[in-house]
Amino acid sequence: MTIVRYPIVEVFESLQGEGTHSGIGATFVRLAGCNLRCSWCDTTHSFAVDKATTYTTGELIEAFSFKQPLVVITGGEPTLHDLGPLVRELHNRKKYVCIETNGTNPIPIEWGINWITVSPKPQSGYTITCPADELKYVVDDEFKLEFIRFDLVKQGRVFLQIESGRLESAKKAYDMIIRNPDLHLRLGVQLHKVVGFE
């Protein structure tokens, strides 16, 4: 059996600041490597796999406490790695496991992810090749409502994220929500940054 080693950029505790689980305490596991290069990315430090520290599942669990009820696996793009062994061990520890992905790679059902957040990116043509529990779209200057895949999620699970705190982005997202009440769109803010935590 092949032992999976994960390139870890950081593991930290904070509030889940975005989406449906906003405000819940979470342990974040940030994996290195990404298949896209978005101009407004706020985690460019996660691109370089060769600069990350690698851990097996056992080493990772031993090195960090994982005290919070929620574990959010993010990146970079976490689906570049086999997350099955890690998710199974987290489930053994009664954790609710979420993933944040750009949606360009399949997510095997065998991984057993509890919640899938897909944030489609313009660089991939907003392609989504995996299931989604919620969608988060960054509202940049080019974003249009027709990019949204409403068919993939339940009503009320589409978030319009403000781009890098830009007022123009916030206004555009606000206008889209107010002018289209039938779409049940939600404004996405980064709560952890609003209250001053990372």
Q: Would strands 115-118 and 186-188 be described as parallel, antiparallel, or unpaired?
A: unpaired
Across the beta sheet with 96-101, the strand order is 53-55, 6-15, 25-31, 70-74, 96-101, 115-118, 134-139, 158-162, 186-188
Mean pLDDT of 84-103: 97
Q: Which of 42, 172, 151, 197 is nearest to 187 (CA)?
A: 172
71, 72, 77, 81 alpha-carbon torsion, rounded to 10°: 10
Residue 198 has pLDDT above 80, yes or no: no
The CATH number of residue 59's host domain is 3.20.20.70
For 142-161, how does the pLDDT look when each residue is reduced to its tens digit (9 = 90+)? Answer: 999 999 999 999 999 999 99
107 contact partners, CB below 8 Å, separation of at least 6: 79, 99, 101, 113, 116, 130, 131
Mean pLDDT of 123-143: 95
pLDDT at site 195: 61
88 contact partners, CB below 8 Å, separation of at least 6: 112
111 and 83 Cβ atoms separated by less than 8 Å: yes
75 and 50 Cβ atoms separated by less than 8 Å: no
Mean pLDDT of 23-40: 89
Cite the annotated binding site by residue number.
15-17, 30, 34, 38, 40-43, 74, 76, 119-121
Q: Give the range of the structural domain holding residue 138, as residue numbers without chain letter.
A: 5-195
Q: Is 139 helix (H, G, I), strand (E, B) or coil?
A: strand
Cite the annotated binding site for substrate by residue number.
15-17, 30, 74
Q: Which of 118, 127, 182, 121 is nearest to 156 (CA)?
A: 182
Residue 82 has pLDDT above 80, yes or no: yes
Cite the annotated binding site for [4Fe-4S] cluster by residue number.
34, 38, 41
pLDDT at site 42: 77
Residue 43 has pLDDT above 80, yes or no: no
pTM higher than 0.85, yes or no? Answer: yes
Mean pLDDT of 61-77: 94
Extended beta strands in 32-157, E state:
53-55, 70-74, 96-101, 115-118, 134-139
Domains held by the chain: number: 1
| Structural tokens at position 182 | 């039938």
